[in-house]
Amino acid sequence: MSWKSWLFPSRVTTSSTTSPQLIAEQYIRAAQQKASALMEPIGALALPIVAGSWQCTQATTPYLKPNQERFTKEPLIQKAYILNEFLYFFIHIMKRHANDQLSADESKKIQEIVLPIVVRSAAVDAFFGHWPQEYRSGIERPPQFSNLRVELALSSRLALAVLDLAGYEVEEARPAHAKDFPFASMVAGEAMKILSAGDLRTFRELVAKASRSITVYETETQKPWTDFMREFAA
């Protein structure tokens, strides 16, 4: 199977029962076989984002409540949206690291290359591969974060978003009931664990290595990597 088929698979090749982590591993492993020196640093950055998000989502699963208002027709969507909240949390941390240490152009390239692998190819296809594009497009766009400067503040926002999606009541930027505070703390704690002791504990270095691989590719080929990715996505 070609690199294009792995990185941007047809909707037929994925299903709602396939782990997003497994799909991401397949994409990146196949890509590495085609261009190991270039794709290895990209995979080393993208895969832990998906794997960490999936690990956090799995930790919340036993605590999910039926959310009749949003997910009556497709209960699986509840878990998918929670996965997306974790994905967007780690993506935002990636963007912060990129903005801190790279030029504006280099930071933009990291986002343009990693986001399609993480959000569209892995997470969206795993749950929504059978959906029409008009419905998929909203899920593929990460939300905009503003005035959030530290991971702790981000994790608090994340916990409330997951709490709401998981079927719990949220009022005035906090859990509505004291008995729900442990679940909210667990959500934030799982995300912080990935950043402090998991595969993303060297997030800053992973971003720097991925950026260097892009620079090497563009220097050697005289071709923007983003153009190359768009050709495969077309």
pLDDT digits (tens, 9 = 90+) for 177-213: 999 999 999 999 999 999 999 999 999 999 999 999 8
Q: Which two tokens stand for residue 88?
A: 């967007």
d(CA 58, CA 64): 10
Q: What is the pTM of this model?
A: 0.78
d(CA 131, CA 73): 14
Beta bridge partners of 42: none
Burial class, 73, CB count within 10 angstroms (exposed 0-12 / middle 13-18 / buried 19+)? exposed
65-114 pLDDT, tens digit each:
876 666 766 667 788 888 888 998 999 999 999 999 999 999 999 998 88
Name the H helices within the chain.
3-7, 20-60, 68-71, 76-101, 104-115, 125-128, 133-140, 151-165, 181-196, 203-221, 225-233
Would you say 162 and 187 are in contact if contact means Cβ atoms under 8 Å apart?
A: yes
> Phi-psi region for residue 222, left (φ > 0), alpha (ψ -120 to 50) or beta?
left
